[in-house]
């Protein structure tokens, strides 16, 4: 679970700026939105509001850069993403995450200029005292007692590579039984990997892959979601592709090769799902032959391809894998512009469904503009966050919890009146 994220000199964040999922001292609001993790009360959800260009999206972008650096083992993702409006430009960018699994809390810090890792550290956090796992600086890596073993000492790491990524690439997972105290490091890596920033503006959909991999389960889940959303859809079906259409698909050429049966070996069937020109395609090869189908959405007796649906319906379809993940995995999922193309009633329904059905240790963190979602019915006040642009152009982050509004207060009305800041003031000379 994500507990805190702090950014400095990164994107629109100048001074150290923290987004926190630590629960406030609230006893009358949504007790089920709080999870006790290693002695810390952590929120299961949050929503972030702010004017356009105030920096709320940059919370997710910064975490995506961090995620990319750890996965690729290269800090180059940060290059060119420092805060550009500073009177005294600085090259080093910083990102620090406090994360947890069910038993332990970790603090991971990385400072980089995009060309080399300047500082890096990992700590095990506990009420009785923090324990250093490793601390890296320009003079090398200092290891704590838990990593006092030749395997760790023999690791050499390039300037651009995080030490934690190096340990993983050198076999931390594969040889965990032979590496002393590897389990605690693996827990830290998995907790960091389970902070998942998501984008829904990609041109390639992952939905067809889920339809293939779910053995029918995901297709049923998608149908159930669309029916409950009152999108006018009654089912999800596959329409067989003609031979001519199959021959026009690049991947179909490879899968239809005569020697594919030999390459498949003992595999009874090989299936693959992908999006192509906005269509959802599923190809299948078995001992009895090769076939393909296009996934379409049923409206009674009529079917439509996804690209023929409204933007809102298409967004809902793309959300389906995420909502299934939320039910089954203890990860923190962050979505920008969650309410985009969705009716307010549907957005509210989806959020209520997430809190009712999500994995107990899953988190759902979103940015939004729809102020009708800013209500006590959906959120605790410590789950509502704001991003506001300071006079110097940098982003400030703060929670509604700081304002201690009464439980009978109309939060949306107060926000529109400017009581909590983070609202735009449009207008200007162009009107005249």
Predicted confidence (pLDDT) per residue in 343-391, tens digit: 999 999 999 999 999 999 999 999 999 999 999 999 999 999 999 999 9
Task: Determine, yes or no, domain membership for 428.
Answer: no
Same domain membership, residue 236 and residue 143: no
The pLDDT of residue 260 is: 55
Burial of 208 (C-beta count, 10 Å sphere; 0-12/13-18/19+): buried
Average pLDDT, the chain: 90
SS3 167: helix
User: Where a domain ends, among 288, 318, 348?
Assistant: 318
Domain of residue 304 covers 207-318
Beta-bridge partner residues of 276? 279
What are 45's two structure tokens?
A: 């959800």
pLDDT in tens, 153-172: 999 999 999 999 999 999 99
- Does the pLDDT value for residue 265 go beyond 90? no
pTM of the model: 0.92
The pLDDT of residue 432 is: 47
Same domain membership, residue 408 and residue 304: no
pLDDT in tens, 49-84: 999 999 999 999 999 999 999 999 999 999 999 999
Task: Determine, yes or no, domain membership for 230.
Answer: yes
Task: Determine, yes or no, domain membership for 432.
Answer: no
Q: Which residue has the higher pLDDT, 41 or 263?
A: 41
The pLDDT of residue 274 is: 84
Same domain membership, residue 302 and residue 187: no
Same domain membership, residue 6 and residue 144: yes
As a whole number of angstroms, the distance between CA 105 and CA 163 comes to 19
Same domain membership, residue 268 and residue 164: no
Same domain membership, residue 270 and residue 237: yes
Task: Determine, yes or no, domain membership for 127.
Answer: yes
CATH number at residue 44: 3.40.50
Same domain membership, residue 170 and residue 57: yes
Helix (H) or strand (E) holding 142: strand 140-143
pLDDT in tens, 198-240: 877 655 688 888 888 765 788 899 999 999 999 899 999 999 9
The pLDDT of residue 94 is: 98
Same domain membership, residue 273 and residue 296: yes
Percent of the chain with pLDDT over 90: 73
Same domain membership, residue 114 and residue 17: yes
- Does the pLDDT value for residue 263 go beyond 60? no
Would you state the torsion angle of the CA atoms of residues 411, 412, 415, 417, taken in this order, to the nearest 10 degrees?
Answer: -110
Helix (H) or strand (E) holding 240: strand 235-240
Selection from 138-142, 246-250, 397-401 with the highest mean pLDDT: 397-401
CB atoms within 10 A of CB 429: 5
The pLDDT of residue 257 is: 64
Report yes or no: 13 and 73 within 8 Å, Cβ to Cβ.
no
Task: Determine, yes or no, domain membership for 283.
Answer: yes
Q: How many domains does the chain have?
A: 2
Same domain membership, residue 71 and residue 166: yes
Beta-bridge partner residues of 283? 272, 292
Percent of the chain with pLDDT over 70: 93
Task: Determine, yes or no, domain membership for 199.
Answer: no
- Does the pLDDT value for residue 181 go beyond 50? yes
Same domain membership, residue 170 and residue 67: yes
Task: Determine, yes or no, domain membership for 424.
Answer: no
- Helix 344-357 / helix 311-328 crossing angle, nearest 10 deg: 10
Same domain membership, residue 257 and residue 141: no
Task: Determine, yes or no, domain membership for 354.
Answer: yes
């Amino acid at each position: 679970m994500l507990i805190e994220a702090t950014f400095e000199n990164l994107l629109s964040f100048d001074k150290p700026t923290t987004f926190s999922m630590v629960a406030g001292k609230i006893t009358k609001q949504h007790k089920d939105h709080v999870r006790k993790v290693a002695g810390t009360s952590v929120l299961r959800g949050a929503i972030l509001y702010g004017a356009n260009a105030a920096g709320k999206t940059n919370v997710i972008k910064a975490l995506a850069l961090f995620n990319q650096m750890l996965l690729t083992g290269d800090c180059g993702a940060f290059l060119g993403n420092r805060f550009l409006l500073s009177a005294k430009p600085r090259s080093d960018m910083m990102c620090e995450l406090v994360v947890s699994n069910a038993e332990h809390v970790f603090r991971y810090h990385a400072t980089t200029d995009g060309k080399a890792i300047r500082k890096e550290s990992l700590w095990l956090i506990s009420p009785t005292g923090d324990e250093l796992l490793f601390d890296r600086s320009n003079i090398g890596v200092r290891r704590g007692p838990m990593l006092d073993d030749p395997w760790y000492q023999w690791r050499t790491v390039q300037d651009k590579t995080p030490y934690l990524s190096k340990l993983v690439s050198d076999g931390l997972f594969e040889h965990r039984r032979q590496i002393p105290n590897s389990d605690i490091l693996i827990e830290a890596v998995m907790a960091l990997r389970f902070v998942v920033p998501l984008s829904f503006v990609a041109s390639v959909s992952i939905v067809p892959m889920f339809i293939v991999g779910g053995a029918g389960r995901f297709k049923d889940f998608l149908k159930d979601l669309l029916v409950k959303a009152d999108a006018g859809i009654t089912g999800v079906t596959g329409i067989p592709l003609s031979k001519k259409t199959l021959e026009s698909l690049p991947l179909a050429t490879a899968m239809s090769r005569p020697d594919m049966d030999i390459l498949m070996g003992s595999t009874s069937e090989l299936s693959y799902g992908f999006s192509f020109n906005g269509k959802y395609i599923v190809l299948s090869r078995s001992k009895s032959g090769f076939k393909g189908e296009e996934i379409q959405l049923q409206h009674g007796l009529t079917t439509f391809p996804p690209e023929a649906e409204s933007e809102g319906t298409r967004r809902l379809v793309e959300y389906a894998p995420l909502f299934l993940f939320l039910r089954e995995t203890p990860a923190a999922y962050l979505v920008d512009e969650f309410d985009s193309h969705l009716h307010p009633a549907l957005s509210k329904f989806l959020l209520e469904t997430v809190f009712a059905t999500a994995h107990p240790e899953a988190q759902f963190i979103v940015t939004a503009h729809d102020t009708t979602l800013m209500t006590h019915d959906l959120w605790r006040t410590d789950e509502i966050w704001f991003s506001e642009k300071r006079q110097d152009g940098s982003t400030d982050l703060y929670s509604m919890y700081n304002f201690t509004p009464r439980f009978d207060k109309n939060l949306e009305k107060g926000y529109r009146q400017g009581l909590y800041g983070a609202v735009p003031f449009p207008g200007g000379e162009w009107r005249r």
